Structure 1
Amino acid sequence: MTPPAASASHLVLIPSYNPGPRVYETVRAARAVWSPVWVVVDGSTDGSAERLQEMAAADPGLNVLRLSRNQGKGAAVLHGLDRAAAAGYTHVLTMDSDGQHPAQLIPAFMAASAAAPDVMVLGVPVFDADAPALRVHGRKVSNGWANLETLWMGIGDSLYGFRVYPIEPLRRVMRGQRWMRRFDFDPEAVVRLCWRGVRPVNLAAPVKYPAAAEGGVSHFNYLRDNALLTWMHIRLMAGFVMRLPLLVLRRLTARGPAPR
């Protein structure tokens, strides 16, 4: 297979923390369809950083960045954003390292972003029969809050991390406040970007939850992570109330078709 030509504007960014062996398959699948691919190793202690660096040494389309200690998904993404901006890139596609996200759809998401550089391209998960019911139904709560907080600007799914961001608006959002550094990064990012006028475009994308026997690793903690999400939405609702007149005005003066 001919390796993909390197993009000068869009890169794949994969935050990774103790991901298990599926990370290597994830990286190979992403590299098969896109270049460059960057992995931010967020203080992993499972030996994956060393093997990923060995892969990068033999692959000019792969770059591995390492954080000395675990700081959280949002912090890892921000580190990658800063390095990408310094290198001249304008957009990143974020995806998880554990095999949940569909690498084969990277080109389609990148094409949608290139066609409308000012938008964020959000994956909307398509679940299979094996998806945990708690994950499938529990996300409806966060999605409902996110759509209320943006006056229904069109967020198809607030939690699914397979998405393309314009780098500079997201960097400004994250540098402007001290949150968005851990698990709750994804929903807060889309809400705050909507507040800044970055329109969401939604594309369907399958999601898998690999079992432990298949090498699947989950760091989700029901009580801790739902507490993080609750505190995040309390913060966002406070911001929503302050921005409500502007959001209403924006909705009333909006032109063109509603976001897909």
Structure 2
Amino acid sequence: MTEHPSPPPSNSTHLVLIPSYNPGAQVLETVQQARAHWNPVWVMVDGSTDGTGAQLEALAAQDEGLKVIVLPRNRGKGAAVLEGITRAAEAGYTHALTMDSDGQHPANLIPHFMATSLAKRGAMVLGKPVFGPEAPALRVNGRKVSNGWANLETLWMGVGDSLYGFRVYPIAPLAKIMRNNAFMRRFDFDPEAVVRLCWAGVQPINLDAPVRYLTADEGGVSHFKYLRDNALLTWMHTRLFLGFLLRLPLLIARRLSHRFS
């Protein structure tokens, strides 16, 4: 007797959201792996010019669990996520697991992250990257600076990693924060989102998750620009630190109340 694969887990409140910009052919495998582990999966094509938008639309035409939304121009990861969670909320979803489209994130851990979120819906579930030997030392060590600032700015609420985009967000508080903030639209989205959600009282839960750095021969595509993106992060943390100083009495009071409650 032929065995048929079991359908992926699904939930009426949680979806997978994949922002995508010129990721190369790797995106097809990434999306198919995500679909193998969850239903539904939405892909936000952020003005891609490499033909992957049309390829994803063709894939979605054969898969009711896959939705592809093609945005007319590239506006940045944060802008694509905001558009996605806005539409997801209108459709009745309350939580979104974000993951990159370039094959770096572990699709097999989607059910685990979703189950953790379902058990504690008010929290955000943050991936804490486990690096392999191929990970560039500059990237691994450089993120420690951003993580240090994020922990200071949240008064050590427990952010395991500020930059890893494999995480589950509660949609309502994230959308509210983003609509009230003119920033958080590009590479600065992930760290600023986690800091501002902590300020809003959203508890972080950290789960280990492997991260892969694919070579060009393996189909890896990177849009990271060292000087440009580090300048963006520096400006972001400058703004966040000023916001931290304004909120410091509230953050101290919150930490004390949790300690003695």
Q: TM-score, normalised by structure 2?
A: 0.97
CA contact (8 A) 2:13 2:94 kept: yes
Q: Following TM superposition, by how much is the alpha carbon of 1:3 offset from its aligned partner in structure 2, in angstroms?
A: 1.9
Q: 1:97 is paired with a residue of what secondary structure?
A: coil
Q: 2:27 aligns with which of 23, 29, 46?
A: 23
Q: Aligned-residue CA RMSD in angstroms? A: 1.0
Q: Distance in 1 between matches of 2:10 and 2:113?
A: 16
Identity of paired residues, percent? 70
1:225 corresponds to 2:229:
yes
Counterpart position of 1:234: 238
Structure 1 residues 112 and 256: CA distance shift in structure 2, 3 A:
farther
In 2, the alpha carbon distance for the partners of 1:85 and 1:57 equals 23
| Structure 1 unpaired stretches of 5+ | none
TM-score with structure 1 setting the length: 0.98
Query: Unaligned stretches of 5+ in structure 2?
Result: none
Give a deviation string over 1:142-172, Cα, whole Å, max 9, x none: 0000000000000000000000000000000
Query: In structure 2, what is the equivalent of residue 127 of structure 1?
Result: 131
In structure 1, what is the equivalent of residue 81 of structure 2? 77
Tell me the CA shift for residue 177 of structure 1: 1.0
Q: CA deviation at 1:6?
A: 3.2
**Cα deviation 1:173-209 (Å, max 9, x = unaligned):** 1001100000010000000000000000000000000
Using the TM superposition, give the Cα deviation of residue 256 of structure 1 relative to its aligned residue in structure 2, in angstroms.
8.5
In the alignment, which residue of structure 2 is the partner of 1:156?
160
- Displacement over 2 Å in runs of 4+: none
Matches within 5 A, 1:175-254: 175-254=179-258
Aligned residue number for residue 8 of structure 1: 12
Aligned to 1:61: 65
Rounded to whole Å, the distance in 1 between the matches of 2:34 and 2:209 is 15
**Contact conserved, 1:6 with 1:61, CA < 8 A, in 2?**
no
Count of residue pairs brought into register by the alignment: 257
1:94 aligns with 2:95: no
For the structure 1 residues 72 and 147, does the alpha-carbon distance in structure 2 shift closer, same or farther, using more than 3 Å as the test? same
